[in-house]
Amino acid sequence: MAQTIKFTIDGVECTAKKGQYIVDAATENHIYIPTLCNIPGVKPRGSCRICSVRVNGRMMTACTTPVSEGMEIENKDPDIEDIRKAIIELMFTEGNHFCPSCEKSGNCELQALAYRYQMLAPRFKFMFPKRRLEATHPKLIKDHNRCILCKRCIRAIKDEEGHSLFAFARRGHNVEIIIDTKYSKNMTDEQAREAADICPVGAILVKERAYTDPIGKRKYDKQPIGSDIENL
């Protein structure tokens, strides 16, 4: 049996199995730490930094840091919350996120975080970058305007032999998601839906699906993201 250890989050005593990542341990203790690039059960990457917490006085990403005995974690500190809000605002200004014209609106995790942190207007200037909209793949549309480069599609969508169907192309600020034409040739409808659903924003969309849920019935219309963890 895995060793049980004790630690605190904002002074609240919590228990976890040794080796668990902070974010998973927090979830089991009904404490929400916001995540965006993280997928439960898939090796974490720590690319979006939204899960930043203060561990024994130092900022760490909760999705990549394992808990240890006696760890003191600060999560709801106003400074940390403001850093997270700033990260959300950076993402909104760095890409082109026109929520009213996006199929993912209401089910989008980036938007849901902006709601949770009550972003009324970002503090940064909008960059309005020139990005592509690609519809060459038979089943998927890629809207690079919305991509936040979290790599969730690369890490989660694989074929039977473990090849990723998605990859990064180019470097630096030109980096973008591409679909591997060879491995994605036999992509099933189910895999296409999975890819669109694993995308936290509306960067990967299934062709001919469009809007599915009416306003008021979408995932984050009534309940803030994370409330399912807090109210367990």
DSSP 92-118: HHHTT--GGG-TTTTT-HHHHHHHHTT
Judged by CB, which is closer to another protein: 41, or 216? 216
Compute the least distance from the CB of residue 149 to another protein, in Å: 18
Interacting residue with another protein among 35, 75, 111, 164 (CB under 8 A)? 111
Judged by CB, which is closer to another protein: 2, or 210? 210
Distance CA 40, CA 48 (A): 15
The total of other beta-carbon atoms located within 10 Å of residue 216's CB is 8
Name the one range near another protein by CB under 8 A: 4-12, 97-105, 160-168, 182-190: 97-105
Name the one range near another protein by CB under 8 A: 45-53, 123-131, 154-162, 181-189: 123-131
121 is an interface residue for another protein by CB under 8 A = yes
Q: Strands, E, within 18-130: which ranges? A: 52-55, 58-61, 72-74
Q: What's the CA dihedral at 210, 157, 220, 76 to 10 degrees? A: -150
Interacting residue with another protein among 17, 49, 54, 131 (CB under 8 A)? 131
* Number of residues this chain uses to bind another protein (CB under 8 A): 28
Interacting residue with another protein among 129, 163, 182, 228 (CB under 8 A)? 129
Q: What's the CA dihedral at 169, 174, 205, 97 to 10 degrees? A: 160
Interacting residue with another protein among 10, 40, 98, 135 (CB under 8 A)? 98
212 is an interface residue for another protein by CB under 8 A = no
135: nearest Cα among 192, 191, 52, 197: 192
125 is an interface residue for another protein by CB under 8 A = yes
Distance CA 160, CA 211 (A): 30
**Residue 205 tokens, joined:** 């969309």
Burial class (CB in 10 A: 0-12, 13-18, 19+), 31: buried
Q: Which residue has the tokens 């189910």?
A: 190
Enumerate residues 138-157 that contact another protein by CB under 8 A.
Answer: 145
Compute the least distance from the CB of residue 32 to another protein, in Å: 14
101 is an interface residue for another protein by CB under 8 A = yes
Enumerate residues 213-232 that contact another protein by CB under 8 A.
Answer: 215, 221-224
In this structure, the chain runs to a length of 232
Query: Residues in the site for another protein, rule: CB under 8 A?
Result: 92, 96, 98-102, 105-106, 111, 114-115, 118, 120-122, 125-126, 128-131, 145, 215, 221-224
